[in-house]
Amino acid sequence: MKILYLNTTYQCGGAETVTSQLFQGMRERGHEVYEIVSYDRRHSELPPGVHVLYGSPGMRILNRLITGNHGNRSLHIRYSRWYIRRFIRRHKIDVVHLNNPHDNFLGIRDIADLAGWCPLVWTLHDFWAMTGHCTYPHGCEDRWKDGCLTCGCLNNYPALRTDAAHALFLEKQRAFRKHKIVFTVPSDWMKHQFDASHLKGLACVRIYNSLNTALWKPLDREAVRSRYELDGRKKILGFIAADPQKKLKGMDFLLEALKKLPEPEEYLLLVAGKDSLGLRDLDAGFQVRHLGYLHTQKELNEFYGMADLLVNPSVYETFGLTNIEAMACGTPVAAFPVCTMPELIDDSCGYLAASVSAEALGETILRAFDDSATLREKGRRSREKAERLFSEKAMLDQFERLYAMEREG
């Protein structure tokens, strides 16, 4: 099959990781694969078949001009539309797999037309297709289910300057039923959200995000800690976030929880991702080791492998790849009981706080370290669950079957 993947950017977060997995996995299975992205901020060395629409400074200026200075309310983004349509025809694409189209990559009506040009599979990594404008309707009290009649969260990503949320909602409601689109979502929780949205009744399949459990694996914890010169006597907590300043990542809850822990000198917080002033401001008794951005699978595997417990204080997740990465490495996860967290983490393999609060998170951390034997056992069971539910082969098999069905009509 000839498969075209579309995503806003090449490297950034979870959606990009999944898109790259599919791109590489389907190529290894013998399919002819391509990917088109809007931009690549890291200026990566791109694999053959990956194309960037707005790669140069001049093209990025063009994108601003044709999207109202990134107004996030475009119905058509004509250069993106022209380029992709020409690409589909030139390469005789069998199936298009759309991932994140927002952030001024594709207009709402462009997506409807795309589904008319070629069989279209669309993975919803966030809520953008279901809301007036935002990817995560955190704080809106479910107004998106009623049509985003008014929006009190205009700054939610991608932000709107004026309240056009209801008009955009109506455009999506019309556009995404114009031609057949087969949707996929990465969790049962997201399937419930889909069925509560204006997309209800359309084809939607749950396909878990995944990882290669032959690569992500438990390591000799003491040996890895020694290589990184970490004190093996410490209780080591892991925290990872590309941008911890984002409120949804819950860093404020984590900082308050850590300040409440008795005997802080017994702990070490191991951090990966963007640096944060908040982390630097922790009391002197609490040791923090910041590793910065980790770009390779090996580095991330070592990060998880050094931690006794990964703390994920996120308050809004449609999946949470960091959870299953840690689990595959034999590191249990502590999280809030929100969104997909109870689906990925249960009492057999991890820890869920009693509520979304710093107090509950602190109590959960204490509970995890109260019984070291149970903590180790949960790590072993985390690995078992990752192998059972989140294998890359299972994800690739499901998408390959779906692509074949859509190509055949």
Give the start-to-end residue ranges of the domains of the chain. 2-210+392-408, 221-389
According to CATH, the topology of domain 221-389 is Rossmann fold (3.40.50)
Whether pLDDT at 33 is above 70: yes
Q: Which of 3-12, 65-74, 159-168, 285-294 has the lowest mean pLDDT?
A: 285-294
> The tokens of 235 are what?
């209780």
Fold identical between 2-210+392-408 and 221-389?
Answer: yes
| pTM, rounded to two decimals | 0.92
Q: What is the mean pLDDT of residues 92-108?
A: 96
Question: What pLDDT does residue 246 have?
Answer: 76
CATH C-level class of 2-210+392-408: alpha beta
Q: What is the mean pLDDT of residues 291-315?
A: 94
Inter-residue contact 217 to 380 (CB < 8 Å): no
Instruction: Return all residues near 283 (Cβ < 8 A) that are at least 6 apart.
Output: 259, 264
Q: What is the spatial distance between Cα 14 and Cα 103, in angstroms, rounded to a whole number? A: 16
Beta-carbon count within 10 A of 331 CB = 28
Query: How much of the chain exceeds pLDDT 70, in percent?
Result: 96
Give residue-wise pLDDT tens across range 323-332: 999 999 999 9
Q: What is the mean pLDDT of residues 220-231?
A: 94
pLDDT confidence band for 202 (50 / 70 / 90): very high
Whether pLDDT at 190 is above 60: yes
> The tokens of 318 are what?
């449609």
Whether pLDDT at 388 is above 90: yes
Query: How much of the chain exceeds pLDDT 90, in percent?
Result: 81
pLDDT confidence band for 305 (50 / 70 / 90): very high
